[in-house]
């Protein structure tokens, strides 16, 4: 069918065909071929249609509007209140709104930024985080940090913060020292936020002066926070504190998970000249246990393998 000759009724029929999970993509392609003439029908479908648990047709409408350049319709949709009681329907509509926010990221205009910023006051959605991150504005850091503690949005938040580069350093340092709601009753999301903020700081880099604001983290019980802080300390702390950082890594190995132990081992290997005395002392301490305990001691095995591999490497260099 020639899209230029389609009647309004035919365009409306194509819009309704988005409801078909199989035929929807073909209908969307035909609507894009219709150009701007398809926007009013799609707008009506999105703004007046009823949200449902099966959200893919509405999501497809959003994507089609974006391909047609209907920025204003997407802003209008996201600016409308979305109070939905049914949790399944609310989850589905959140996916639609997240897609709309992500599609708005095509435009780096002020009205888009303002729309996304308003939406961020009420919703933590991957699409909002992703699109706001594209603006590279330090003022969005509080939202990015909040999203960093959210399991669904963490990846997008991490990318957004990394996109800010060194400008985010001071805010990140404040964030890793902030326990929510308190150090005694810290929530899992607060732990996640601080862990990942530290990992970003490890990559961004910290000056020796800034290290003073992080040194207290070496005493944390959480192995991820303590070990990552120690890895930063090895790079940035004054020489006497570097040895303390090495000791903290070794001390936290028993409570660390497999992946964290792998990272800790790599850090010890990279700085083995600095870590050797501490590693040897820990090996000697653990070898005072009985034969059975030593055979089951995975930390002893890790440290011995680390030492032996370094010795072999030194031999090969001679």
Find the angle CA(73)-CA(154)-CA(108) to the nearest 5 degrees. 35
Distance CA 128, CA 102 (A): 6
- What are the extents of the domains in the chain? 1-104, 105-196, 206-318
Distance CA 45, CA 35 (A): 16
Under-70 pLDDT residues of the chain? 1-4
pTM for the structure as a whole: 0.90
Amino acid 4: pLDDT: 60
Amino acid 314: pLDDT: 79
* Residue ranges in 123-168 assigned as alpha helix (H): 126-133, 141-148, 154-164
User: Sign (positive/negative) of CA torsion 228, 234, 235, 241?
Assistant: positive
Do residues 243 and 278 touch, judged by C-beta distance below 8 A?
yes
Amino acid 3: pLDDT: 56
Amino acid 315: pLDDT: 82
Q: Spell 184-206 as b/e; 16+ CB within 10 A means b.
A: eebeeebbbbbbbbbbbbbebeb
Residue of 149, 88, 160 lying closest to 124 (CA atoms) = 149
Distance CA 173, CA 206 (A): 9
Segment holding 311, helix H or strand E? helix 298-317
Distance of CA 99 to CAs 46, 54, 119, 290, Å? Answer: 13, 15, 13, 59
Residue of 188, 254, 200 lying closest to 228 (CA atoms) = 200
Q: Spell 87-126 as b/e; 16+ CB within 10 A means b.
A: eebeebbbbbbbbbbbbbbebeeeebbebbbebbeebbbb
Distance CA 140, CA 120 (A): 9
Token pair recorded at residue 158: 């991490």
Amino acid 5: pLDDT: 73
Do residues 13 and 40 touch, judged by C-beta distance below 8 A?
no
């Amino acid at each position: 069918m020639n899209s230029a000759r389609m009647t309004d009724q035919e365009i409306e029929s194509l819009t309704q065909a988005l409801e078909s999970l199989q035929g929807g993509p073909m209908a969307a392609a035909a609507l894009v071929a219709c150009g701007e003439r398809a926007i009013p029908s799609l707008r009506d479908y999105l703004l007046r249609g009823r949200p449902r648990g099966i959200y893919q047709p509405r999501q497809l409408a959003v994507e089609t509007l974006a391909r047609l350049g209907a920025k204003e319709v997407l802003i209008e949709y996201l600016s409308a209140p979305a109070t939905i009681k049914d949790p399944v329907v609310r989850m589905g509509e959140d996916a639609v709104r997240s897609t709309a926010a992500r599609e708005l990221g095509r435009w780096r205009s002020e009205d888009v930024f303002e729309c996304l910023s308003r939406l961020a006051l009420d919703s933590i959605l991957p699409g909002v985080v992703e699109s706001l991150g594209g603006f590279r504005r330090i003022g969005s850091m509080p939202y990015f940090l909040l999203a960093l503690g959210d399991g669904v949005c963490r990846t997008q938040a991490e990318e957004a913060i990394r996109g800010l580069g060194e400008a985010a350093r001071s805010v990140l340092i404040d964030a890793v020292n902030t326990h929510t709601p308190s150090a005694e009753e810290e929530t899992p999301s607060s732990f996640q936020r601080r862990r990942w903020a530290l990992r970003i700081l490890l990559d961004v880099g910290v000056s020796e002066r800034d290290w003073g604001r992080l040194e207290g983290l070496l005493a944390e019980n959480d192995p991820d926070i303590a070990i990552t802080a120690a890895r930063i300390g090895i790079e940035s702390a004054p020489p006497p504190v570097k040895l303390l950082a090495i000791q903290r890594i070794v001390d936290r190995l028993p409570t660390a998970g497999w992946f964290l132990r792998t990272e800790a081992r790599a850090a010890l290997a990279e700085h083995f000249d600095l870590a050797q005395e501490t590693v040897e002392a820990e090996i000697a301490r653990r070898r005072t246990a009985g034969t059975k305990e030593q055979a089951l001691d995975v930390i002893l095995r890790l440290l011995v393998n680390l030492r032996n591999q370094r010795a072999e490497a030194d031999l090969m260099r001679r």
